Amino acid sequence: MDVAQATSVGADPVTPWVGDGCSRIPARIYTDPHIYARELERIFYGRHWSYVGLEAEVPDAGSFKRTAIGERSVIMIRNRKGEINVLENRCAHRAMQFCQERSGKVKTLVCPYHQWNYNYDGKLLGVPFQRGVKGQGGMPADFTLEDRSLKKLQVAVRNGIVFASFASDVEPFEAYVGDEVLKYFDRTFDGRKLRIHGYSRQRIPGNWKLMMENIKDPYHPGLLHTWFVTFGLWRADNKSELKMDAEGRHACMISRRSETLDKDVTQGVSSFRENMKLNDMRLLDIVHEPWWGQPTVCMTTIFPSVVLQQQVNSLSTRQIIPVGPDKFDFVWTHFGFEDDDPAMTERRLRQANLFGPAGFVSADDGEVIEFSQDGFRQDPAFETLCELGGTDVGDADHMVTETLIRGMYRYWRKVMEL
């Protein structure tokens, strides 16, 4: 059965979990179309805030950017008052996804099929032949333009970052994120104007949650990613902290680069290369920025749809757009600040070689996610083990724990009622 059918029949998924813990994760939550349909309904279209973009992407009235929340296409557009709206990309007439350009600037939003015409707030301005032609045809007497607006989502803009929700009763964004994670959100996004550097897009053949897990997993970077171990960017001896919101759904992995090396953490780590030297050290030309404070890296996950990256001088948002239970699109938006000098811009762009679909420490994340998904597919009865550091959920001041992943699944089980 495909996902569309699963949604339409509203079949209740059967829980694949054994017991009420969150440290043994059943394979079926990554593959089952019924479970995925409920995730779309309750998580992506439910009372959660999803990332849409950066205000800097829509500078003027009428500037828009098309993206998606879950599998629903949406348009972020600035109105004449300078506010940001997020509208569903679906004509109120015949459901056409009328917006096909990814970004641009328009006078009004027009569906080309029958020229229904909407303003930047999604209000229907007019329809051709409303009163018929020469007394014939036309819309019925009870037709009103007011009833046929584009679906308008709840919008939260915080320091230039735009989130939206399909749920009219979603809690305020700040309460949703929680004080602890918000503190780190504001560390990067403190209201300074952002400068967009560009995009990378990849389609990863794995379940969307695997990317959230990857960025909630401080265990793997110092093992899978040679660069992180060898150059001390992310290593088990780094001073680090793991923080969550009260629900356990969002998290920050905060760490400080070690210049010195503790032999304990490289012993037996086959990816460590003691004598590895770069031919060109400009790839790691790290310059400390005052706003960092002590940490040199902070990876924030805002459930369910975005990862906020500060890895030394490289900054990006990474958006997760699910495309069925077994794949998702991963959209990277790299940025800097408007007051960066040219040397800092160049540095951020050079360090971007570490990240993205070709990145020295990111390309292999997509690969391992793909092969995990393959493993789930081959045996639906399998459970993953997520018990590094125990089976409970809580903040930590070290990296040798999978507590953040358990936190996410504790919340997931609550909201999914599975």
Q: Which two tokens stand for residue 260?
A: 């010195």
- For other proteins, give the closer residue by CB, 189 or 355: 355
Q: Does 193 bind other proteins (CB under 8 A)?
A: no
Number of residues this chain uses to bind other proteins (CB under 8 A): 41
Shortest separation between residue 206's beta carbon and other proteins, angstroms: 9
- For other proteins, give the closer residue by CB, 281 or 381: 281
Starting at the edge strand that comes first in sequence, how are the strands of the sheet with 103-105 ordered? 84-88, 72-78, 63-69, 103-105
DSSP classification of residue 396: B
Q: Does 349 bind other proteins (CB under 8 A)?
A: yes
From candidates 34, 197, 250, 347, binder to other proteins by CB under 8 A: 197
Candidates 167-175, 258-266, 292-300, 356-364; binding stretch for other proteins (CB under 8 A): 356-364
From candidates 51, 166, 173, 227, binder to other proteins by CB under 8 A: 227
Q: Does 178 bind other proteins (CB under 8 A)?
A: no
Q: Does 283 bind other proteins (CB under 8 A)?
A: yes
- For other proteins, give the closer residue by CB, 42 or 350: 350
Pairing state of beta strands 306-311 and 72-78?
unpaired
Q: Does 343 bind other proteins (CB under 8 A)?
A: no
Which backbone phi and psi does 304 adopt, to 5 degrees? -105, 5
Pairing state of beta strands 194-204 and 328-337?
antiparallel
Shortest separation between residue 347's beta carbon and other proteins, angstroms: 12
Shortest separation between residue 225's beta carbon and other proteins, angstroms: 8
Prior bond to 304 cis, omega within 30?
yes
List the one residue out of 207, 250, 215 whose CA is nearest residue 36. Answer: 207
In three-state secondary structure terms, 404 is: helix
- For other proteins, give the closer residue by CB, 117 or 345: 345
Q: Does 73 bind other proteins (CB under 8 A)?
A: no
CA angle 230, 330, 368 (to 5 degrees): 50
In whole angstroms, what is the distance from residue 265 CA to residue 223 CA?
Answer: 10
In whole angstroms, what is the distance from residue 307 CA to residue 21 CA?
Answer: 25
In whole angstroms, what is the distance from residue 79 CA to residue 15 CA?
Answer: 44
Q: Please report, for residues 85, 200, 227, 261, 362, the alpha-carbon distance to residue 357 in angstroms, rounded to integers and kept in the order given.
A: 30, 7, 16, 29, 7
Surface-to-core class of residue 387, CB atoms within 10 Å of its CB (0-12 exposed, 13-18 middle, 19+ buried): middle
For the stretch 70-84, what's the b/e string if a residue is b when 16 or more beta carbons lie within 10 angstroms of its beta carbon? bbbbbbbbbeeeeeb
Interacting residues with other proteins between 81 and 110 (CB under 8 A): 102
- For other proteins, give the closer residue by CB, 137 or 342: 342
Candidates 17-25, 89-97, 120-128, 277-285; binding stretch for other proteins (CB under 8 A): 277-285
From candidates 123, 350, 398, 413, binder to other proteins by CB under 8 A: 350
Q: Does 366 bind other proteins (CB under 8 A)?
A: yes
Q: Does 353 bind other proteins (CB under 8 A)?
A: yes
Q: Does 271 bind other proteins (CB under 8 A)?
A: yes
Q: Does 286 bind other proteins (CB under 8 A)?
A: no
Binding site for other proteins (CB under 8 A): 102, 196-205, 224-227, 271, 273, 276, 278-280, 282-283, 329, 334, 345, 349-350, 352-353, 356-358, 360, 363-364, 366-368, 370-371
